[in-house]
A and B are shown apart, each in its own frame.
Chain A
Amino acid sequence: MHEEREWAGGIIVAKAWMDSEFKEALLTTGREALREMGVHQGKVGKLVVVENTDKVHNLVVCTLCSCYPYDILGDTPWWYKHESYRTKIVQNPRACAQEMFQLEIPAGKQVRVYDSTSDVRYFVLPQRPAGTEGMSEEELAKLVTADSLIGAGYALEPDQLNEVERTGAAPEMPRVRPD
């Protein structure tokens, strides 16, 4: 049996949504902020966390291989390693996000794609969804998906989470078409 540990992605993001001082530290010091928070992590490169806002939508890729902060976030999503994603996201990010993730990035938002080459590992701090006022940190953590930490999705809205919990699983999206 491997040690059961709560997925760090949700806990980190929820804390950043609730605690602006922690958020600032996370965005400026990366691993140091996580160390202070007590998050289990290895030494897989420098960590840079980039924040999604009303004006900027960040996405992460590793076009050379599949660099990912797995020592913090666990298993790398399979599509992140797929050649199709790694090629298309730097050629036409908006079309790629639309095609693979049904993600329409509003025209008024700037897209920034971070291409990691091993020394720095990135993840995205997603925006806090509407309708989550009054939710506890614990509840907020459940809204955070692995995809949203790459910029391939948004954090779930509360009713989307209800749907996921009711049906038992998130609907599988096409992601990468075999071509």
Chain B
Amino acid sequence: MESMNSKFKVGDPVVVARENPTGNPRTPRYIRGKRGVVGLVHGVLENIRDHRGIHNPLYTVRFDLSEVSICHDQDSIWVDVHEEWLSAIQPEERN
């Protein structure tokens, strides 16, 4: 990997990959291909209990509930996602 520094910061709009980009497979299906905003930046975490190696930086990404389910209210789902699953996107334009 290029570096151990986190590529995204809090507030960055991101989209989750649809397919597993050969990284940590632990990304729930319901957020794949979905748009969210970085809510927490954790950096590289050691998790020897559950992983064989060291993974890329971890983020907690906030998704509007309406992005991941049929509900339309102000609620949100915050999911832990590793960096290789995320790509930067332009902030959504709202009318």
Contact = CB atoms under 8 A, between A and B. Distances in A.
Interface in A54-111: 63-64, 90-94, 110-111
Contact of A117 (B40, B74, B77, B80): B80
B58 to A, nearest CB: 5
A92 B26 contact: no
A114 B75 CA distance: 11
B30 A90 contact: yes
Interface string A41-64: 001111010000000000000011
Contact of B78 (A43, A44, A64, A113): A113
A42 to B, nearest CB: 9
A46 B49 contact: no
Given A46-B45, A114-B78, A119 B50 contact: yes
Given A63-B28, A64-B26, A120-B80, A114 B60 contact: yes
B12 to A, nearest CB: 18
Interface string B42-75: 1001010110000100101010010011110111
A115 B78 contact: yes
Contacts of B49: 43-45
Contacts, number: 78
A118 interface: yes
A48 B73 CA distance: 25
A117 B42 contact: no
Interface of A: 43-46, 48, 63-64, 90-94, 110-120
Given A45-B49, A48-B40, 18 more contacts: A44-B49, A46-B42, A46-B45, A63-B30, A90-B77, A92-B71, A93-B75, A93-B77, A111-B73, A111-B76, A112-B78, A115-B79, A115-B80, A117-B80, A118-B47, A118-B80, A119-B50, A120-B58
Interface of B: 26-28, 30, 40, 42, 45, 47, 49-50, 55, 58, 60, 62, 65, 68-71, 73-81
Interface pairs A-B: 9 shortest CB-CB? A111-B75, A115-B79, A117-B80, A117-B26, A91-B69, A118-B50, A119-B45, A114-B78, A113-B77
